[in-house]
Amino acid sequence: MRQFLSLRFWLSLAALAGLFLVLILVFNRTTPPTGVQASSDDGPVTREIDLISWAFGITPETGFAFDEGRTTADLALQLDGTRTMVIEAGTPGEIDCPDLTAVATCTVAADLLGDAVLWFSIIEGPPGQTVELPAVREMLDGPFVLLENDWVVRRAGKVDRSCPEDTSSLTDFINTYGAAATSTFNFETQMITKVTCPDPEAGGTSTTSTSVLPATSVIVGTETEDVVDTTSP
C-alpha cells in the first residue's frame, strides 16, 4: 500500500503518460513541404501527390458511382503488369476522364499513405512516358513545386524550359508566363521534368522579342539556380 501511494510511483505514471502523448502527436502529424499551407476551409486545398501514373485499365465494382466527391464502391486501376491500385469506397477525389472503362485513356494522381489512397484525381491521359499538367505556380523548398491546380509534386533537379525566348531561371520562367504555361510530368522518374511556354499563335502570352534562342534548362540547387544551355556540346 505504501509503495502504491509513494511519490516515485505517481511520478513514473506521469512520465509514461507524457511519453504516450508525445507519441500520439508525432505519429498523427503530417508536415507539408516548406512553403505549402495546410488545407483549410478558408483557402485553397493543396494536395501532396505521391504517385502519378497512366492507367491501362479501370474496373469499377458493381454499383460504382461518384457521389458528392466520393466513390460509392471500390475502383481498381491496372497501372502496369504487376501493379493494381484499389481506390476504396468512400475515398474523396476528382474524376475528369471522359470514359473510365475505355482502355488506356486515363491517368491517375494520388495522395497515398502506404498503399492506401487518401485522395485521387483521374484525368484524361493517353499512353506514353509523360503527361501534360498545369503550369508551375511556385517553387517550394526541397524538390517540390506547386502547380496551378494546387497539386504539390516533385521536380527534377534539372528542369527543361522549352521556349523560343530565353529566361534566366525557372523562377523567371514562372514570373514571365504564369498560368498560361504547361508542365510535363515523367511517369518513370515521378517528377516534373519540363515546362513549356504558351504558343503565341494559340493566343498565349509572349514577350516582344523576335529572336529565336535555343531551349535552356535550369539546375535548381538548395540555395541558388544555375542556368545551363542544353545545346552546348
Pairwise pLDDT comparison (33 vs 10), residue with the higher score = 10
pLDDT in tens, 100-118: 889 999 999 999 999 999 9
Could you give the CA distance from residue 182 to residue 173 in angstroms, rounded to a whole number? Answer: 11
Percentage above 90 pLDDT, the chain: 59
pLDDT score for 17: 58
Is the Cα dihedral 175, 142, 159, 104 positive or negative? negative
Read off φ and ψ for residue 114, nearest 5 degrees: 70, -125
Pairwise pLDDT comparison (146 vs 28), residue with the higher score = 146
Mean pLDDT of the chain: 78
User: What is the average pLDDT across 184-200?
Assistant: 94
127: pLDDT confidence band, cut at 50, 70 and 90?
Answer: confident
pLDDT score for 8: 64
